């Protein structure tokens, strides 16, 4: 991850020293004022000339680069278009920040100075505008860690946020701090998910979660296979039994409101590599099955941020971590396992392993951690990306009020979700002659039947299932905020959900 220092300076944009200075323009604006007006005046009307010739319109994501030739302390000026003011939003502000930061990096800049874009427009207040500026910058600059012997090191190390009004300074400083925490949590999740599976084993994932707990003052419990066996967690254990790596149950606990009995549960699927087992996956793209712990990565990244922000809420994270491998000990189609809650599962597809892992993780969160409502995040089904593509997360719930609460968190975070139905008639698809249920209902309605299977393990606890299989990895890396690889999807939403708890 690219480390960028963010500093707030109270001064005029014409005086700030930087390799690149970023100012912005709404579409259709011809009378320049504020920061861009000051820069235009210092440059002898160059920006006005661009507008008059039609070379600069302020269209969303449009960029124009100017050189100051000593008329400013900044060496270059990058103008970014914000689009129409009525359409401006926090998501657009994040994208603008990311585009500007990546442009500065491509120019070889070491220092990037910027104003806070669009504060006061589209319900975007000063603090929120500063927050999304920090988020967009750090998310856009993220680079996948690699093991190359020779690798280029990005020069961009400093972001200077310039503000001339002293009255805004405190709000901007607070927003920048919060935005950094959100982005660092997301980028940490990306690091976890991008890590090769021979390095990020269930044991290593537990070690990294422990580091988060120690640094933030949270509680941490890690159960090994013997302890899980004593608890009857045979579902989770069955998925990892074909691997030489020991399965783990990881529990992070944050109690910021000890006077409340309300506890939010965050449960993550942590299959650190998924071969599909004997229901073997196709060879093409199997290397990306290290992403199958994307839910776990998102939960740990969110808990890191929650531990830093310290909301008045109680949050417990439970992660079931295992490798789904093939060996003489691996689970086989037709085997039956009994989960922690006593329900039996016929394994008809060893590649439908995530719901089997989550069966015990959800039960543990509800029975042992006493969570009062629970969200699980999992790269659960390929079917969800057939239904929704790779820009939307699928959401299922047994409780409309809690579903609305989670959707509000999505709205605040800027991540995208679509609620899917739980169709009761589809339960017949996973009925079994030899067990309480099968672990798969077949191809038709695959995301819905998977969600229905998970519902078997939450009883009446308010529950939301997030199927992030389509959004956990950006295959092309073409998004403003996402490089090629893990996205860290869900981190920002889970942070927002924790902050909204009462």
Query: 354 near 378, Cβ under 8 Å?
Result: yes
Burial of 478 (0-12, 13-18, 19+ CB in 10 A): exposed
71 labelled as ligand-binding?
no
Burial 104-141 (b: 16+ CB within 10 A, else e): bbebebebbbbbbbbbebbebebbbbbbbbbbbbbbbb
By C-alpha distance, which of 97, 86, 81 is closest to 131? 97
- What tokens appear for 21 in the block? 């200075």
Is position 75 annotated as part of the catalytic site? no
Which residue carries 């993220």 as its tokens?
Answer: 142
269 labelled as ligand-binding?
yes
Alpha carbons 458 and 465: distance in angstroms, whole number: 11
From 76, 355, 438, 492, active-site residue: 355
What is the bridge-based pairing of β-strands 417-419 and 393-397? parallel
By C-alpha distance, which of 272, 254, 269 is closest to 202? 272
123 labelled as ligand-binding?
no
By C-alpha distance, which of 88, 125, 117 is closest to 22? 117
What is the bridge-based pairing of β-strands 5-10 and 20-26? unpaired
From 59, 71, 174, 281, active-site residue: 281
75 labelled as ligand-binding?
no
Is position 355 annotated as part of the catalytic site? yes
215 labelled as ligand-binding?
no
Q: Which residues contact 280 (CB under 8 A, 6 or more apart)?
A: 326, 351
What is the bridge-based pairing of β-strands 463-467 and 393-397? antiparallel
Query: 357 near 314, Cβ under 8 Å?
Result: no
The strands making up 158-163's β-sheet, listed across from edge to edge, are 5-10, 158-163, 111-114, 20-26, 76-83, 63-67
The strands making up 463-467's β-sheet, listed across from edge to edge, are 219-223, 248-255, 314-324, 264-274, 373-378, 463-467, 393-397, 417-419
What is the bridge-based pairing of β-strands 314-324 and 248-255? antiparallel
- What tokens appear for 256 in the block? 């910021």
- Residue 24 CA: distances (Å) to CA of 4, 28, 54, 96, 157: 21, 12, 16, 9, 22
- Residue 185 CA: distances (Å) to CA of 105, 112, 289, 303: 22, 23, 22, 8
Query: 128 near 117, Cβ under 8 Å?
Result: no
**Max Cα-Cα span within the chain:** 82
- What is the phi-psi region of residue 117: left when phi exceeds 0, alpha when psi lies from -120 to 50, beta otherwise? beta
Helix, strand, or coil (residue 316): strand
- Residue 69 CA: distances (Å) to CA of 72, 100, 159, 276, 444: 7, 21, 22, 60, 64
- What tokens appear for 63 in the block? 């960029």
Q: Which residues are annotated as a binding site for Mn(2+)?
A: 269, 274, 292, 351, 353
Where in the sequence numbering do the catalytic residues fall?
281, 355
Q: Which residues are annotated as a binding site?
A: 269, 274, 292, 351, 353
């Amino acid at each position: 991850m690219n480390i960028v220092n963010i500093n707030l300076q109270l001064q005029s944009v014409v005086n700030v020293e930087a390799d690149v200075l970023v100012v912005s323009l709404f579409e259709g604006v011809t009378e320049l004022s504020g920061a861009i007006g000051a820069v235009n005046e210092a440059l002898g009307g160059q920006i006005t000339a661009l507008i008059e010739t039609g070379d600069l319109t302020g269209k969303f994501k449009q960029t124009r680069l100017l050189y100051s030739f000593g008329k400013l302390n900044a060496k270059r000026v990058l103008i970014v278009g914000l689009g129409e003011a009525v359409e401006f939003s926090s998501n657009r502000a994040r994208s603008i920040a990311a585009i500007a930061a990546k442009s500065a990096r491509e120019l070889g800049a070491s220092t990037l100075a910027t104003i806070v874009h669009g504060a006061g427009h589209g319900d975007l207040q000063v603090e929120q505008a500063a927050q999304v500026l920090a988020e967009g910058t750090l998310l856009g600059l993220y680079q996948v860690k690699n093991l190359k012997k020779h690798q280029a090191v990005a020069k961009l190390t400093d972001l200077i946020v310039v503000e001339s009004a002293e009255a805004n300074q405190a709000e901007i400083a607070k927003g920048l701090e919060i935005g950094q925490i959100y982005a660092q949590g997301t980028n940490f999740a990306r690091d976890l998910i991008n890590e090769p599976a021979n390095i990020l084993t269930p044991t290593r994932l537990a070690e990294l979660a422990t580091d988060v707990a120690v640094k933030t003052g949270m509680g941490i419990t890690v159960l090994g296979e013997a302890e899980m066996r004593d608890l009857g967690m045979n579902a989770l254990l069955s998925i990892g039994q074909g691997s030489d790596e020991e399965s783990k149950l990881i529990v992070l606990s944050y109690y910021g409101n000890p006077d409340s009995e309300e506890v939010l549960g965050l449960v993550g699927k942590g299959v650190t590599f998924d071969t599909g087992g004997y229901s073997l996956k196709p060879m093409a793209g199997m290397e990306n099955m290290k992403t199958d712990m994307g839910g776990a990565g998102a939960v740990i990244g969110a808990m890191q941020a929650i531990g830093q922000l310290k909301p008045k809420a109680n949050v417990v994270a439970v992660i079931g971590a295992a490798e789904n491998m093939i060996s003489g000990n691996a689970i086989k189609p037709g085997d039956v396992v009994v989960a922690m809650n006593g329900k039996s599962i016929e394994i008809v597809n060893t590649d439908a392993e995530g719901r089997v892992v989550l069966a015990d993780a959800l039960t543990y969160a509800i029975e042992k951690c006493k969570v009062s409502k629970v969200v699980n995040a999992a790269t659960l089904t390929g079917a969800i990306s057939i239904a929704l593509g790779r820009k939307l997360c699928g959401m299922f719930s047994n409780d409309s009020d809690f579903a609305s609460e989670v959707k509000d968190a999505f709205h605040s975070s800027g991540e995208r979700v679509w609620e899917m139905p739980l169709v009761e008639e589809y339960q017949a698809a996973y009925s079994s002659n030899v067990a309480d249920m099968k672990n798969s209902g077949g191809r038709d309605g695959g995301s819905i039947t998977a969600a229905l299977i998970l519902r078997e393990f939450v009883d009446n606890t308010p529950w939301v299932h997030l199927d992030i299989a389509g959004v956990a990895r950006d295959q092309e890396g073409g998004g403003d905020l996402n490089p090629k690889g893990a996205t860290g999807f869900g981190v920002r939403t889970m942070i927002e959900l924790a902050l909204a708890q009462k």
